[in-house]
Structure 1
Amino acid sequence: MTTIDRRTLLATGALALAGAATQSPPAAAQAGPKTIFPLGQTTIPIVGETDVFPVRRIYCIGRNYAAHAREMGSDPTREPPFFFQKPTDAIQNVAIGAVADHPYPSLTKNYHYEVELVAALKSGGTNIAIEQALDHVYGYALGLDMTRRDLQRAMGDEKKPWEIGKSFDHAAVLGPIHPVAKTGHLTKGAISLAVNGTVKQNSDLRNMMWSVAEQIAKLSEAFELKAGDIIYSGTPENVGPVVKGDVLLCKLEGLPDMSIRIV
């Protein structure tokens, strides 16, 4: 090879290396680590909107109506509010006007309904003042906190955590969210549940011991609340069992009805 040929070859190689150095790495190399499998985001439909509400956490308050606290064996005059959580993928969305099939869960022989108002948050924080608490609410929905009561009681008797009674598939039944801009804040109004046409639960939101605003304030003392959190605000008295074939009709003044069939 001549000296000229060697010079030409070296120059060509240098240019190629320079070009490679200025090129961006492939898109795959630019991206960070990828999850090993896809995992869906739990969402709730919003009435009148094509957008949906993404769920971050589900909080629930226990024994928030005095009569229900008494039927559960508690003295409501001395009990501060307490909360538990359900997994977000426990949500079963129920459309307006539909009667959704709801599977009777495994392991239980005493499956209970609990109708509740649900508040959905658009923002949050820590140590939220009661006076500002409702400013964080995006909207409201009608919900059912379904409970494997025999498992819950058995764990309670043994002083063990009772997630198995509350936190299972389809345990958080939920209608669509109604924005506050359309409903206002739901601080009073009749709430009821009927089984096969017979009214079982019948109360008023005014009978809550801890209002939604107070629940938000109390929760924010223990957790940093954020957009996407939803709060099941407690159930009235006369919770009870259902069996396969039962049809539940939930009503809350100001919102459309919600209905499920136990299958």
Structure 2
Amino acid sequence: MSPNTPTVYIFPPAEQPSVAVRGSTARYAVSRIFCVGRNYAAHAREMGGNPEREAPFYFTKPASALVPSGATVPYPPGTKNYHYEMELVIAIGAPVFKLTPDSAGAAVWAYGAGLDMTRRDLQAESKAAGRPWDTAKSFEQSAVITELVRASETGPLTRGNISLAVNGVPKQQGDLSDMIWSVPEIVANLSQLYHLQPGDLIYTGTPEGVGPLQPGDMITGEIAGLPPLTLWISEPA
């Protein structure tokens, strides 16, 4: 085949997942989504874990799981315990590998507010059986995100309110300074395991107060300095 011959696909390729950027018509193309587990001590305790400062651990979601803030999503199949988790999201802006925490901050191109949606009953079953969390975390429409705001506009987000309410009732309330692992430490640690690239998002963990949702619920979330987040839950598809 000639190098100039266009590729022909059996089925049309999926649309490139991307996120809106504040103040720009250009979008941030997403290739990978990494999520940090139990990065707030109080949440680690409510999930039955040990909040000691041990090495962070990660799970992933497909980029196709992205949903923009303001959307309505159906209650997902296969669960009776569908949970919200409000999180700060990092967007990587440079190819980096094996960073130190002192240099990792420069790799953060933008921030967003996000939700790591979770089928909690499936997660509990996986934990009990010593199995991966994929069915609990990596499902359709499980990675909600606001538009991104450039780090050059926000500066480093080291502290500030992170909160969530369901139908106007406060459920999660914390501060970004409560994170066990800071943003530069997360980026540095993850870069020991992966060659990070522009297009990588990192969901950085959630404060305590996670809980179940029902069809008809409205989620509102806030992180200081970032756009507000909203999500509506509809009946199962």
Q: Normalized against structure 1, the TM-score is what?
A: 0.85
Tell me how far apart the structure 1 counterparts of residues 161 and 103 of structure 2 sit (CA, whole Å).
25
Letter in 1 for 2:202: I
SS for the counterpart of 1:221 is coil
> Which residue does the alignment assign to 1:90?
65
Q: 8 Å contact 2:172–2:207 — kept in the other structure?
A: yes
Task: Tell me how far 1:89 sits from its aligned partner.
Answer: 0.1
**Consecutive unaligned residues in structure 1, runs of 5 or more:** 1-27
> Which residue does the alignment assign to 2:11?
37
SS for the counterpart of 1:156 is helix
Letter in 2 for 1:104: Y
Tell me how far apart the structure 1 counterparts of residues 213 and 50 of structure 2 sit (CA, whole Å).
26
> Which residue does the alignment assign to 1:201?
172
Tell me how far apart the structure 2 counterparts of residues 233 and 114 of structure 1 sit (CA, whole Å).
11
SS for the counterpart of 1:151 is helix
Tell me how far apart the structure 2 counterparts of residues 117 and 228 of structure 1 sit (CA, whole Å).
16
Tell me how far apart the structure 1 counterparts of residues 198 and 213 of structure 2 sit (CA, whole Å).
34
Letter in 1 for 2:19: I
Counting only pairs closer than 5 Å after superposition, residues 174-185 of structure 1 correspond to structure 2 as: 174-185=145-156
Task: Tell me how far 1:184 sits from its aligned partner.
Answer: 1.4
Tell me how far apart the structure 2 counterparts of residues 114 and 80 of structure 1 sit (CA, whole Å).
21
State the structure with more CA Rg: 1
SS for the counterpart of 1:222 is coil
- Please identify runs of 4+ aligned residues in structure 1 that moved more than 2 A: 32-38
Q: Pick from 76, 81, 90: which aligns with 1:105? A: 76
Tell me how far apart the structure 2 counterparts of residues 176 and 160 of structure 1 sit (CA, whole Å).
34
Q: Does 1:51 align with 2:29?
A: no
Q: Does 1:137 align with 2:104?
A: no
Task: Tell me how far 1:33 sits from its aligned partner.
Answer: 4.1
Q: 8 Å contact 2:36–2:203 — kept in the other structure?
A: yes
Task: Tell me how far 1:32 sits from its aligned partner.
Answer: 5.2
Tell me how far apart the structure 1 counterparts of residues 143 and 6 of structure 2 sit (CA, whole Å).
34
Q: 8 Å contact 1:123–1:228 — kept in the other structure?
A: no
Task: Tell me how far 1:162 sits from its aligned partner.
Answer: 1.3
Structure with greater proportional helix content? 1
> Greater CA deviation, 113-122 or 178-187?
178-187
Task: Tell me how far 1:255 sits from its aligned partner.
Answer: 1.3
Q: 8 Å contact 2:147–2:227 — kept in the other structure?
A: no
**Consecutive unaligned residues in structure 2, runs of 5 or more:** none
Q: Deviations over 1:5-34 (max 9, x none)?
A: xxxxxxxxxxxxxxxxxxxxxxx8831543
Q: Deviations over 1:143-189 (max 9, x none)?
A: 00000000011011011111000000000001111111221121110
Tell me how far apart the structure 1 counterparts of residues 39 and 5 of structure 2 sit (CA, whole Å).
48
Tell me how far apart the structure 1 counterparts of residues 23 and 214 of structure 2 sit (CA, whole Å).
34
SS for the counterpart of 2:177 is helix
Q: 1:256 to 1:30 in 2, by over 3 A?
A: closer
Letter in 2 for 1:132: S
Tell me how far apart the structure 2 counterparts of residues 132 and 124 of structure 1 sit (CA, whole Å).
13
Tell me how far apart the structure 1 counterparts of residues 122 and 54 of structure 2 sit (CA, whole Å).
23
Letter in 1 for 2:178: N
Q: 8 Å contact 2:96–2:107 — kept in the other structure?
A: no
> Which residue does the alignment assign to 2:46?
71
Q: Does 1:171 align with 2:145?
A: no
Task: Tell me how far 1:78 sits from its aligned partner.
Answer: 5.4
Q: 1:32 to 1:100 in 2, by over 3 A?
A: closer
Task: Tell me how far 1:38 sits from its aligned partner.
Answer: 2.7
Tell me how far apart the structure 2 counterparts of residues 65 and 235 of structure 1 sit (CA, whole Å).
6
Q: Deviations over 1:116-141 (max 9, x none)?
A: 00000111322111111111111000
Tell me how far apart the structure 2 counterparts of residues 53 and 115 of structure 1 sit (CA, whole Å).
21
